[in-house]
Chain A
Amino acid sequence: MKALLIRDLKLAFRSGGGFGLGLAFFLIVVILVPFGVGPRSDLHAIIAPGVLWLGALLACLLSLDRIFALDWEDGTLDLLATSPLPLESVANVKALAHWVTTGLPLVLVAPVLGLLLNLPPAGYLPLVISLLIGTPALSVIGTFGAALTVGLKRGGLLLSLLVLPLYMPTLIFGAEVARRGADGLNTTTAMLMLGGITCGAIALLPFASAAVLRANLR
């Protein structure tokens, strides 16, 4: 398991591995928003938590098809399926690698982009915590979506269509935490729900991802 994780991380960090693409995408989305809504900074302060969450979600979505596509093409996935490591663990490791290379950097960069959008000072901590709790769910759900579409030639668009509705609850609670935090309200309920979704997704979805991978590899 550790070897697979290290291999995936190495591949992602090397040139051409796509590390940093998600970050750059996040940056561009956030920079484009003020051009879309106009230069009023009071307006930016209101929409900042939502925009940052949406940007992080889209950046996550962008890199999902890389989770399994390369391993599928060169046959690594077949080897992994026949190895003693259960496919459920493979799915979990893949999700973890995706989170470390995409989700975690987004969490670290989000406060800096919050400055650009004039996020109220009270909003920084809830934003970072909600992203830290919520992005693992995005990676795990995305791994399921990537497993569903792995056998398709051009599955990228279909992948977004399948995964975006599944992201809805995570986005609702995650953005709610960030927004309530920015308004100085109590965030406990939304935070607990977000944590619940993440824990539930990590516990249950790998089984679905593995079942789907088996069907695809048959």
Chain B
Amino acid sequence: MSSIWEYANPKKFIATTDKVLPWITILAVSALVTGLIWGFWFTPEDVRQGATVKIIYLHVPSAMMAINAWVMMLIASLIWIVRRHHVSALAARAAAPVGMAMTLIALITGAIWGQPMWGTWWVWDPRLTSFLILFLFYLGYIALWAAIENDDTAADLTSMLCLVGSVFAVLSRYAVNFWNQGLHQGASLSLDKEENVSNVFYLPLLVCLAGFVMLFLALVLLRTRTEIRARRLRVLLARERMQ
């Protein structure tokens, strides 16, 4: 029986992702194309919101992945601290820009949605503010990775920052709740409710959610492979210079 830790071996990781990555990419593209076309052209307009409701197919999945990406980075950082697998540290590094892009998409689509609905691009609502704070955390994390030359030190420092940052991100989430009441609606997608959004919107939204998960996976795997190969290349070049 093979264990998950086998993928800590970069060779094994590359070999496996060689086989898996094309399928994930195909799944991501087909789910996104289906979900978005279905959502944009084959769902009715909302009674009150009109056509603007269709932003939901970008806004909700990207917001979900913005948080999930940070959670994935947290897990990868923990694995690096405990077991010191380089692939894990590189995966955390690879996920950060993707997560930051997701946060930015969620913020921008939210602003575009908020303008006609609330009459403003931006309010200091707890949810909006927490996302802005999350964006700052991504920014700091990426900047720290970029600033340190030694790979192992950089992995150590960024994983500690990720741990401490997670605690403070959660703290900030509750602090801004205390600080201001919001315009944003509460959670409308939960697993424990009978019906969340009307099924007409819900089904294409689910397809889009699946598409974004696959897209995130594909991008992170691709970027991790790039990081591994870049590091190999650097070692080869250094060895060549020695001779």
Interface residues of A (CB under 8 A from B): 144, 148-149, 151-152, 155, 158, 161-162, 164-166, 168-169, 172-173, 176, 189-190, 193, 197, 205, 208, 211-212, 215-216, 218
Q: Does B117 contact A (CB under 8 A)?
A: no
Q: Are A165 and B176 in contact (CB under 8 A)?
A: no
Total number of B residues with any Cβ neighbor in A under 8 Å: 26
Alpha-carbon distance between A148 and B133 when the two chains are bound, in angstroms: 20
CB distance from B161 to the nearest CB of A (A): 6
Interface residues of B (CB under 8 A from A): 133, 136-137, 139-140, 143-144, 147-148, 152-153, 156-157, 160-161, 163-165, 168-169, 171-172, 175-176, 178-179
Q: Which A-B residue pairs are the 9 nearest by beta carbons?
A: A215-B156, A169-B171, A172-B175, A169-B175, A165-B136, A162-B140, A168-B172, A166-B168, A161-B140
Q: Are A158 and B147 in contact (CB under 8 A)?
A: yes
Alpha-carbon distance between A130 and B152 when the two chains are bound, in angstroms: 40
- Known A148-B144, A164-B136: A172·B164 in contact at CB below 8 Å: no
CB distance from B160 to the nearest CB of A (A): 5
Alpha-carbon distance between A167 and B87 when the two chains are bound, in angstroms: 31
Q: Are A208 and B147 in contact (CB under 8 A)?
A: no
Beyond known contacts A148-B161, A168-B133, A189-B178: 15 more, CB 8 A cutoff: A148-B157, A151-B148, A155-B147, A158-B147, A161-B139, A161-B143, A165-B168, A165-B172, A168-B172, A172-B175, A172-B176, A172-B179, A211-B160, A212-B160, A216-B157
Q: Are B179 and A176 in contact (CB under 8 A)?
A: yes
Q: Are B148 and A152 in contact (CB under 8 A)?
A: yes
Alpha-carbon distance between A203 and B161 when the two chains are bound, in angstroms: 17
Nearest neighbor of A148 in chain B, beta-carbon distance: B157
Report which of A151, A155, A161, A173 forms a contact with B153, defined as CB distance below 8 A: A151
CB distance from B216 to the nearest CB of A (A): 23
CB distance from A39 to the nearest CB of B (A): 27
B172 contacts across to A, CB distance below 8 A: 165, 168-169, 172
Q: Are B147 and A172 in contact (CB under 8 A)?
A: no
